[in-house]
A and B are shown apart, each in its own frame.
Chain A
Amino acid sequence: DIQMTQSPSSLSASVGDRVTITCRSSQSIISYLNWYQQKPGKAPNLLIYAASSLHPGVPSRFSGSGSGTDFTLTISSLQPEDFATYYCQQSYNTPHTFGQGTKVEI
């Protein structure tokens, strides 16, 4: 199975901050990398697919980059509604493994 490792596991930030979350895969997944936002008690929401494509309806302050084994999710200017946990997921092969999550806190 492909292992997905995110860093950091948690971070503290303020409204307006630029936030960067990293995801690393244990082998190349080309660009088959997706990012989700999850709030407590809710299902995840897709933010980014194929490493850098913004899912329709997702604010443009979210962006993704990377290929191969190293990927980044960036929030350019953190908004109050962005405080949540973020997960990366590889869809290169099955099982479609997820990272352990990054909790973004105030």
Chain B
Amino acid sequence: QVHLVQSGAEVKKPGASVKVSCKASGDRFTKYVIHWVRQAPGQRLEWMGWINADYGTTEYSQKVQDRVNFIRDTSANTAYMELSSLKSEDTAVYYCAIGTWYGSAFDIWGQGTLVIVSS
């Protein structure tokens, strides 16, 4: 079964950029559409978008589409989320997630990456 491992916590200043990785193991990486979901402290989960690991096609939520970029490296079985022009409101735990069972019902999650944006 596929397993997702994310990169470690980051502390960034406002206006900076962050890149979070999500490495897949246990199954063929290119089978999956990888979604990114974030959760600000004490807040609900927020879906950010997806990347098709095979074709590299993407879809972004309107809220972040001007600042976010999803890429993947098929040779490394890794997906990346880049978020630029960071604001304090971007402080959150960022998750990558996959639906292996039924569409966009996410049954496999990374462990999460805390990104803190603070001056």
Closest to B112 in A: A43
Residue in B49, B95, B97, B101 with the greatest tally of chain A CB atoms within 10 Å? B101
A98 within 8 A of B: yes
Closest to B114 in A: A41
Contacts of A43 in B (CB 8 A): 95, 97, 109-112
Q: Is the CB of B105 within 8 A of A98?
A: no
Contacts of B97 in A (CB 8 A): 43
Q: Is the CB of A34 within 8 A of B109?
A: no
Q: How many A residues, CB 8 Å from partner?
A: 24
For A91, give its contact among B44, B45, B62, B104 (CB under 8 Å): B104
A96 within 8 A of B: yes
Q: Is the CB of B46 within 8 A of A98?
A: yes
- Docked Cα-Cα span, A96 to B70, in Å, equals 17
Contacts of A56 in B (CB 8 A): 101
Instruction: Report the minimum CB–CB distance from B11 to chain A (whole Å).
Output: 18
For A50, give its contact among B45, B95, B102 (CB under 8 Å): B102
What is A's interface to B at a CB cutoff of 8 Å? 32, 34, 36, 42-46, 49-50, 53, 55-56, 87, 89, 91, 94-101
10 extra interface residue pairs, beta carbon distance < 8 Å, beyond A43-B111, A96-B104: A32-B103, A34-B105, A44-B45, A44-B95, A45-B109, A46-B107, A49-B103, A50-B105, A89-B105, A95-B62
19 A-B contacts, Cβ less than 8 Å apart? A34-B104, A34-B106, A36-B106, A43-B97, A43-B111, A44-B95, A44-B109, A46-B106, A49-B103, A53-B102, A55-B107, A91-B105, A94-B47, A95-B49, A95-B61, A96-B35, A96-B104, A98-B47, A101-B44
